[in-house]
Amino acid sequence: MAEPLLQVTDLKTLFHTPEGTVHAVNGISFHLREGETVAVVGESGCGKSVSMMSLLRLIPTPPGEISSGTALYRGDDLLRKSEQEMEDVRGREISMIFQDPMTSLNPVLTIGRQLTEALRVHLGLSQEEAEKRAVQLLEQVGIPDPARRLGDYPHQFSGGMRQRVMIAMALSCAPSVLIADEPTTALDVTIQAQIVELVARLRETLHMAIIWITHDLGVVAGMADRVLVMYAGYIVEEAEVQDLYDSPSHPYTLALLAALPRVDRRRDQRLKSIPGAPPNLLVKPHGCPFAPRCEFVIEKCREENPPLMNVGKDHTSACWVAVTTGLHR
């Protein structure tokens, strides 16, 4: 198999705060192949955004600290690059879009100004060329009357349209990887469907690899090739998308799926809720972080944190218990 586009190994990110050290990302490893869509799923505070922002070195240091790991992008370690070298990576090689398009766009600059900046800086286009390209980009993401809208400010766009502008901006230098951090969470389902369809179409035409961060297992089902499930700064399960939904292996994945109501099914019983709350990351993890909420918990879980183990073809899970048989690993 060809070398993956991105290979992350043992990434750890900490935040040093007055209350103590927050263990946000606790040594995660994963890879991304060319043209592939990987979804990173988990609840707030599970480290999904922090880990991806660490790759792009967007973590403010201090208080943040990337304490270990490597992130090989086309063979080069992103974590060892200088700030100047990173500027050539961000936007050009790897782009990121965020959940809230209103706070990610500068409210006092026109859309045209914000779109052309990357084109001029990264591609060295003249203002005139950059504007021409900006119009094409806005057209590509489905904004009507793009030439006129270049002079508009962010507040003149709706939420869905702003997210399209963000996508246009992220795609402006034709990156190989797009990291999308909950890009549809703030949007209505109808607009979410539009954005998901847009990204799928752009992926086809531009052959991008996508990392899609979300808490919504519904959206994942429709668009991802592979899924990473995160909990408390760890990857607890990784599988091909169909495999994950057919045979979820980690108790947390199982519980998340059971807690979801289904639009396509009649209700049969109460939802199965997960007791308790996600752990406090200020405490250095000891044992499996999900153990206090887990219905399959055994003594070993509280002693020793399970590593990711093979449970099927390209399917790994960090659990001492095989949930289908109840056997211990």
Nearer to another protein, 8 or 138 (CB): 138
Using CB under 8 A as the binding rule, the residues of this chain from 245 to 284 that contact another protein are: 245, 255-257, 259-264, 266-267, 270-275, 277-278
Helices 111-123 and 127-140 cross at an angle (nearest 10°) of 120
Asked if 154 and 102 count as a contact pair (C-beta separation under 8 A), the reply is: yes
**One of 215, 287, 292, 298 touching another protein (CB under 8 A):** 215
Kindly identify the residues of this chain, within the stretch 191-210, that bind another protein according to CB under 8 A.
191-194, 197
Contacts of residue 252, Cβ cutoff 8 Å, sequence gap at least 6: 229, 231, 236, 237, 274, 290, 293, 294
CB of 84 to another protein, least distance (A): 38
> Of 147, 222, 303, 312, which lies in the binding site for another protein, with binding defined by CB under 8 A?
222
Shortest Å, Cβ 263 to another protein: 4
Amino acid letter at 127? Answer: Q
Q: How many residues bind another protein (CB under 8 A)?
A: 44
Non-local CB neighbours of 42 within 8 Å, separated by 6+ positions: 48, 215, 229, 230, 231
| Cβ-based nearer residue to another protein, 69 or 154 | 154
The DSSP bridge pattern shows strands 309-312 and 20-32 to be unpaired
Q: Which residues between 47 and 76 bind another protein (CB under 8 A)?
A: none
CB of 167 to another protein, least distance (A): 16
Minimum Å gap between C-beta 127 and another protein is 31
Cβ pair 305, 289 in contact under 8 A: yes
Report which DSSP code applies to 321. B
Distance between the two ends of the chain, CA-based, in angstroms?
A: 29
Are 312 and 321 a contacting pair, CB within 8 Å?
no
Exactly one of 72, 96, 169, 219 binds another protein (CB under 8 A); that residue is 219
Q: Which backbone phi and psi does 61 adopt, to 5 degrees?
A: -125, 125
Is position 139 an interface residue for another protein (rule: CB under 8 A)? Answer: no
Nearer residue to another protein within complex by CB, 29 or 194: 194
Which parts of this chain interact with another protein (CB under 8 A)?
A: 43-44, 158-161, 188-194, 197, 215-222, 241-242, 245, 255-257, 259-264, 266-267, 270-275, 277-278
